[in-house]
Amino acid sequence: MKPNKHLKELDGLRTRLYDPELKRREEENRSYMMHLENRFLLLNFNLEAGRDTSDNIIEGMHGGWEFPTCQLRGHFLGHWLSAAAMRYHAVGDKEIKAKADAIVDELVECQKANGGQWAGPIPEKYLYRIAQGKQVWAPHYTIHKVFMGLLDMYEYAGNETALEIAENFADWFYDWTGRFSREEMNDILDFETGGMLEIWVELFAVTGKEKYKTLMERYYRERLFDPLLRGEDVLTNMHANTTIPEVIGCARAYDVTGDEKWRTIAENYWKLAVTDRGMYATGGQTCGEIWTPMKRLSARLGQKGQEHCTVYNMMRLAGFLFRWTGDPSYADYQERLLYNGLMAQGYWQSTLSHGFTSPYPSHGLLTYFLPMQAGSRKGWSSQKSDFFCCHGTLVQANAAFNRGLYYQSEDTLYVCQYRDSQVTFSIKDTPVTLLQKQDPLTGSSHLASTSSEKQSVLEDTRKYPSQPDCLVPCLKIETAKAVEMTLQIRIPWWIAGEAQILVNGEEIWHGSDAVSFVPLKRTWKDGDVVRILLPKAVKACPLPDDETMTAFLYGPVVLAGLTDEERTLHVPDLSRPEQILVHDNEREWGSWKSTFRTTGQERGIRFIPLHDVGYEPYSIYFPVKSDR
């Protein structure tokens, strides 16, 4: 079968990111990755290959899930290689590529020392044991990360050696899996397989070799996929992140083969995981690493809320579904999880300055879980002593934020996310550049006491005396000659009132049709400007099964109440609890702030964006009670 044609994501050097907060996170991520020494990233691979015979704990070696006695040891390096490849692909970072290339060269030597096929950080006998039904902690999961890193190094960084290692390593699995019957393979696949299916699909796509198609068939997990084909709920109370990578493998298999079976599995999974299940205000659906019951989330507001890995992988799955359908609800979902998942769970930085101090650290690396319980605190991990699974998705998620912003289908460009950026593409051989920049509606570039911006008196300082409650992306077209094309402008789910689109100052469209694309088809000239006004407001987001427990969002951003205990909010109207939140500290220098306080309460509570919470106690959901 031939693969189907779908929307094409414009990533890599074609899309450049300028958003200052996301750029900060990318740079911190790069700094963390470069800080980790190759010797310790490779330690478990060298130990397995007999290339490191140290008899003492080495100062600086990695602990936690990377410690040499942990059965998942070595998983992080695969994530690291993927992140390095993605970083190079996005911005052309030659230094991180050189570090990654050196690691790949060492992996070749490990593979040779292991006999020419095995290139893992764990012994082959772990797989023999699961074939015998013995308990081992997810060897396929660990191995998948290694394959993933190698194939990403080939695809995004052009490292041919990485592909050679992966092909030789795959031969071991082809030989090993050939020993088992279908029923025996089904038993093996009941142990966590991670994204192994996706690996075989990628190798088949790259090489066209039939043995990888055979491995795809062998790694078809009947006990999960067949019920999904029938639309049965196989998720409730089951571990979440074991199956998301498996279904991503199905999604990729549809891309490569065009077989509708794979697409049906992925779409039914999404329906069961998101559409029918409902979600927390953050966009997550899990607690304690398991899927919540359908639309029954109120009994799952615990310390171990959404897991970072599930956030990253569900965003990936949403990307496949968007490319197939062009449905903006998937872009909405990615936006929600960016702010309230990736940004809320990684690379937090304090904004204290001017003599203010805190008893807590000024940075937070990663919080594995996002607590939903009242009066919770985020649990921030260390740089070298933990290495949970989420350390791996942390470095991948923050490697390149220029993904998922723009997609193209022939003469149509989809503008999916609103972040300062630039994308270059072609329409019928005509090069076009679109520059996106938000109008802050502040009338000032004076962003701090240390800035030396010109203090001009501008119209916006008078026009918007208070927080304008509006996101205003502006798109500028640059092209050498006029070009006919369609811009698809996303109107997000969170708009509060009528949105407006202007082209060169003339209104082209207005409306409140959230979760939609507005097509702008015309002949575009150099210098044309599209101005998009997206009004936002605080909205209440109650739990699906308990309308008296509500969270609050400002646009797509969840607001966290800074309190160390559960607090009941008294509201005049249960249908409009958001009315008790009003702006506070709405502006500092030339920046509008997204902070709020309660009114009409015996004791007030301050609300700030969830992604700005560091070490403070906070609550997301609040009981609301009418005073009437």
Structure tokens at 413: 């460009």
Cα 49 versus chain centre, distance: 34
Task: Answer whether residue 276 shows pLDDT above 60.
Answer: yes
Please tell me the predicted confidence (pLDDT) of residue 448: 67
Task: Answer whether residue 480 shows pLDDT above 50.
Answer: yes
* Average pLDDT for the chain: 95
Cα 505 versus chain centre, distance: 35
SS3 392: helix
User: Using one digit for the tens of pLDDT, what is the confidence trace for 208-249?
Assistant: 999 999 999 999 999 999 999 999 999 999 999 999 999 999
Higher pLDDT, 459 or 196: 196
Helix (H) or strand (E) holding 394: helix 389-397
Nearest-angstrom CA–CA distance, 118 and 112: 8
pLDDT > 90 fraction of the chain, expressed in percent and rounded? 92
DSSP-assigned letter for residue 380: B
Structure tokens at 304: 């171990």
Please tell me the predicted confidence (pLDDT) of residue 1: 37
Please tell me the predicted confidence (pLDDT) of residue 469: 97
Q: What is the mean pLDDT of residues 12-22?
A: 98
Q: Which amino acid is at 321?
A: L
Task: Answer whether residue 456 shows pLDDT above 70.
Answer: no
Please tell me the predicted confidence (pLDDT) of residue 627: 75
Please tell me the predicted confidence (pLDDT) of residue 2: 41
Count CB-CB contacts under 10 A for residue 9. Answer: 19
User: 510: which strand partners?
Assistant: 500
Please tell me the predicted confidence (pLDDT) of residue 257: 97
Find the farthest-apart pair of alpha carbons in the chain and give their distance in angstroms, rounded. Answer: 77
Q: Which residue has the tokens 């990578």?
A: 245
Angle at 520 between CA 519 and CA 521, to 5 degrees: 105
Structure tokens at 352: 């204290």
Please tell me the predicted confidence (pLDDT) of residue 515: 83
User: Using one digit for the tens of pLDDT, what is the confidence trace for 306-324?
Assistant: 999 999 999 999 999 999 9
Q: Which amino acid is at 329?
A: S
Nearest-angstrom CA–CA distance, 43 and 107: 11
pTM: 0.97
Full 3-state SS string of 70-123 = CCCCCHHHHHHHHHHHHHHHHHCCHHHHHHHHHHHHHHHHHHHHCCCCCCCCCC
Residue 115: band (very low, low, confident or very high) from pLDDT cuts 50, 70, 90: very high
Q: Is the dihedral of CA 203, 209, 213, 215 positive or negative?
A: negative
DSSP-assigned letter for residue 495: -
Task: Answer whether residue 3 shows pLDDT above 50.
Answer: no
User: CA dihedral defined by 200, 204, 206, 209, rounded to 10 degrees?
Assistant: 130
Cα 65 versus chain centre, distance: 22
User: Using one digit for the tens of pLDDT, what is the confidence trace for 285-298?
Assistant: 999 999 999 999 99
- The burial of 305, by beta-carbon neighbours within 10 Å (0-12 exposed, 13-18 middle, 19 or more buried), is given as buried
Residue 445: band (very low, low, confident or very high) from pLDDT cuts 50, 70, 90: low
Count CB-CB contacts under 10 A for residue 197. Answer: 27
Helix (H) or strand (E) holding 24: helix 20-35
Q: What single string gives the DSSP state of each residue in 301-370?
A: --SS-SBHHHHHHHHHHHHHHHHHH--HHHHHHHHHHIIIIIHHHEEEE----TT---SS-SEEEEBSB-
Gap between the terminal Cα atoms of the chain: 64
Angle at 559 between CA 557 and CA 561, to 5 degrees: 170
Q: What is the mean pLDDT of residues 388-393?
A: 97
User: Using one digit for the tens of pLDDT, what is the confidence trace for 354-382?
Assistant: 899 999 999 999 999 999 999 999 999 99
Cβ–Cβ under 8 Å, residues 233 and 295 = no
Please tell me the predicted confidence (pLDDT) of residue 5: 65
Cβ–Cβ under 8 Å, residues 193 and 199 = no
Please tell me the predicted confidence (pLDDT) of residue 460: 73
Q: What is the mean pLDDT of residues 409-438?
A: 97
Q: What is the mean pLDDT of residues 438-461?
A: 73
Q: What is the mean pLDDT of residues 74-93?
A: 98
Structure tokens at 289: 């690493």
Q: Which residues of 425-446 are buried (b: 16+ CB within 10 A; e: fewer)?
A: bebeeeebbbbbbeebbbbbeb
Full 3-state SS string of 518-541 = EEEEEEECCCCEEEEEEECCEEEE
